[in-house]
Amino acid sequence: MTSAEDAKACCSRAYGTDAVAMVLGPSYHPGGLSLTRRLAERLGVRAGHRVLDVAAGTGTTARMLAADFDVTVDGVELGQDVLESAVAETQEAGLSAKVGFHHGDAEHIPLPDGRFDTVVCECAFCTFPDKERAAAELARVLRDGGRAGITDVTVTGEGLPAELSTLAAWVACIADARSLEEYSEILAGAGLTTVCTERHDAALERMIEQIDARVRLLRMTSFTRLHQAGVDVDAVLRYCALAREAVADGLLGYALLVAEKR
Amino acid sequence: MTLDDQQQDRVKRDRDEVFVEFTKSICPVCKTPVDAQVNIRDNKVYLRKRCAEHGWFEALTYSDAESYLSSARFNKPGTVPLTFQTEVADGCPLDCGLCPEHKQHACLGIIEVNTGCNLDCPICFADSGQHGTETVTSADGDSTTASGYSITHEQCELMLDTFVESEGEAEVVMFSGGEPTIHKNILDFIDLAQAKPIRNVNLNTNGIRLASDKRFVAALGERNRVENRSVNIYLQFDGFDERTHREIRGADLRESKRRALDNCADAGLTVTLVAAIERGLNEHEIGDIVEFGLAHPAVRSVSFQPVTHSGRHVEFDPMTRLTNPDVIRLLTEQRPDWFGKDDFFPVPCCFPTCRSITYLLTEGEPGAPDFGVVPIPRLLDVEDYLDYVSNRVVPDYAIREALEKLWSASASMGTEVTEDRLKQAADALDCAEACGVNLPGAIADLTDRAFMIVVQDFQDPYTLNVKQLMKCCVEEITPDGRMIPFCAYNSVGYREQVREQMSGVRVDGVVPNATELGPVLIDSPSGSKVYRDDER
């Protein structure tokens, strides 16, 4: 890892690559839509609210929130290709009037102060190199009393096995993950007071199983394509096994956190 | 007693359980409907009830309370059948059936063609066999035991017509018994079913005839090749230990099972291995059964059923009986590299706690070091499609429909419908645009590598809950043209009633062989237990 900026660009770019799209498939974050719904409930999202989704990806969360919770959603996404798919899929779903997307970075959110009732950020905070700055941005765009909801990878204890701290692991968004307490402190530094936390380690375990299954399915069906995209199947399966072990040992986990701007 | 003690006695205490449902059940002794309550203790679900005459009864119904509660979301609105056979009169479960209050149509209809069997298994929910009663052979060669019967061509036709009238186009009829392969007209019955709008026939058998009579197997194979029709074998297969065979089936049938399976493979027949699992008997063989099934060319699915404590069975304790989550846990413990708990998903067409299913794709040859299984629920979030309560937007309704057929009691490997649905479900994995792989297309070529595992806990007189019964989608079709939910048929007394009607011989109500009932039970002529009525 040369620098934080390199990592960020690489991370965002990687999420737009064939290799990652192939490996991750539709399982876009641990817990899937049901954890997103739970987060929305914990946040107290109400009809008519303005919601911001930071690192919105292809907009799955944004569209679900707009449709199921009757809110307007702005999504911010750094990857240009991913952003274009988000816009296209939203148009196809007929939700463009309620869901819009902006090219941008969590550390420089291109939106005005105090605009949002709620900010969500799923499985992405851990990849932000300057977490203090990102937290300050989340706080800035929230109105007073607004809430930020984060679900993310957590790392506790002595940290991760060396092999899981490499670049590939960074892409899988675990290398710079912190403990739940640290996330809470970072947010507190930006004026966001934690009001609720929940552990969802099983969701991470499940996602690792899903990646493992997907890669093996691709090996069965599309070996050549996988090879062309540069996916090293054995390496991915090895990372999966290591990650699974780390979850079982309590080193790696997944958590939900809600913080309020006071 | 001091004043302190007295005050301590008057301190209010909390109950040691969470009360979650009020429902109805039956007294396991006299089968009278009684009020019942469902409670949770130590993350396990129990059903408790009281009969005014026979007292309190309690049984374990689901050993994972968290899953029990969360599976409520996967409860699909039922489909109204085209006809009902009875009226609402005395209330559930006395009006079977189906009565107009029933909440679901029949995914699967069962026709028991006889009560006679070429085995006398110590465990048989149908209380079938060759024992205890004299055999009468009639002029046309039909043999009936004193309290037994076999159905005629006309009765079979009426039963099939009842099913078709109720379903229109029916998915699956299962011929069962007794042992259906020893009924001299069984092939005629299959022809009769195939001539009607019923897509698939399942033959539920112990395999003895399939092991020894290759001409019979070939005749079944022929019928499996009839256009738009299929015949699948539902083969009793409880494990590999001699003890398992002797204690569940009363004989060592291992060689016979192997021959039956090989003969089926030769005839191009698809087989489901059906394992009755009993605590302390064969619960250690669950993983081995799956592995064996994956390796055998005829086997495309395995069905695990905790032993149903209806009919004839070994003594058991209702509080520690096996339930679906136990079977799933045992499988994941025995094959941790292959399965996790979340790979099984509850079936929404019946009550979601009755049945759980997973589908797998297999990779490589079983036994080889690179062999692996890919559970399909890891590839797509089934929950996003089959949540009927909290989901307001389903990603794709065609995929939901495909998944509904796969997660149903009518799903049967080796049938065109199920394979088409697998291909359709694969559309959920479409990422051709994003990643350049046409996975649905690729999976279409893999359906012959797909494998199904079903875990089904049938209810018995201890565990019967009318809430589940009212949405049952597996029906026993009776010779008098009723369709009775399978667990009601076995638990409430309908089986005894039909047997008495058909044989003209009195049949007493069968009572579960629970340890706590031991002192009031005596043997019935067919080896099950009945209440010792001293005044009789």
CB B531 within 8 A of CB B520: yes
- Domains of chain A are 4-201+250-261 (3.40.50.150)
Residues in CB range of B268: below 8 A, 6 or more apart: B221, B224, B225
Chain B residues with beta carbon closer than 8 angstroms to that of A37: 390
CB B398 within 8 A of CB B427: yes
Give the pLDDT of residue B217.
98
**DSSP state at residue B426:** G
Phi, psi of A249 (to 5 degrees): -80, 0
Question: Is ipTM > 0.95 here?
Answer: no
Whole-number Cα distances in Å, B110 to B176, B193, B201? 7, 12, 10
Distance to chain A for B456, nearest Cα, Å: 24
Contact A22 B392 (CB under 8 A): no
Give the pLDDT of residue B365.
78
pLDDT in tens, B64-81: 999 999 999 999 999 999
CA distance B246 to A157: 53
Residue in the structure block whose two tokens are 């069997």: B117
Whole-number Cα distances in Å, B8 to B12, B14, B452? 9, 14, 57
CB neighbour burial string for B128-154, b if at least 16 within 10 angstroms, e if fewer: bbbeebeeeeeeeebebbebbbbbeee
Chain B interface includes A242 (CB < 8 A): no
Contact B378 A209 (CB under 8 A): yes
Chain B residues with beta carbon closer than 8 angstroms to that of A229: 435-436
pLDDT in tens, B142-184: 554 567 899 999 999 999 999 999 999 999 999 999 999 999 9
Distance to chain A for B429, nearest Cα, Å: 7
Secondary structure (3-state) at B103 = coil
Residue in the structure block whose two tokens are 């092991």: B211
Which of A34, A38, A90, A247 best probes binding to B when mutated, by most B CB atoms within 10 angstroms?
Answer: A34
**HSE-up of residue B38 (Cα within 13 Å, Cβ side):** 21
Q: How would residue B138 be classed by pLDDT, with cut points 50, 70 and 90?
A: very low
Please name which of B37, B45, B36, B105 lies closest in space to residue B72, comparing C-alpha atoms: B45
Phi, psi of A112 (to 5 degrees): -70, 165
CB A38 within 8 A of CB A162: no
- Domains of chain B are 83-137+144-408+450-535 (3.20.20.70)
Give the pLDDT of residue A191.
96
Please name which of B72, B382, B359 lies closest in space to residue A206, comparing C-alpha atoms: B382
Chain B residues with beta carbon closer than 8 angstroms to that of A67: 392-393
Contact A18 B383 (CB under 8 A): no
pTM as predicted = 0.87
Residues in CB range of A181: below 8 A, 6 or more apart: none
Which of B335, B344, B378, B449 best probes binding to A when mutated, by most A CB atoms within 10 angstroms?
Answer: B378
pLDDT in tens, B262-307: 999 999 999 999 999 999 999 999 999 999 999 999 999 999 999 9
CA distance B504 to B507: 9
pLDDT in tens, B77-120: 999 999 999 999 999 999 998 999 999 999 999 999 999 999 99
- Please report the number of interchain residue pairs, chain A to chain B, with beta-carbon separation below 8 angstroms: 84
Does the structure show a pLDDT above 80 at B140?
no
Q: How would residue B247 be classed by pLDDT, with cut points 50, 70 and 90?
A: very high
Q: Looking at the DSSP assignment, which residues form a beta bridge with residue A252?
A: A155
Contact B442 A21 (CB under 8 A): no
Which of A18, A24, A216 best probes binding to B when mutated, by most B CB atoms within 10 angstroms?
Answer: A216
DSSP assignments along B235-252, one per residue: EE---S-HHHHHHHHSS-
Which of A30-34, B137-141, B200-204 reaches the highest mean pLDDT? Answer: B200-204
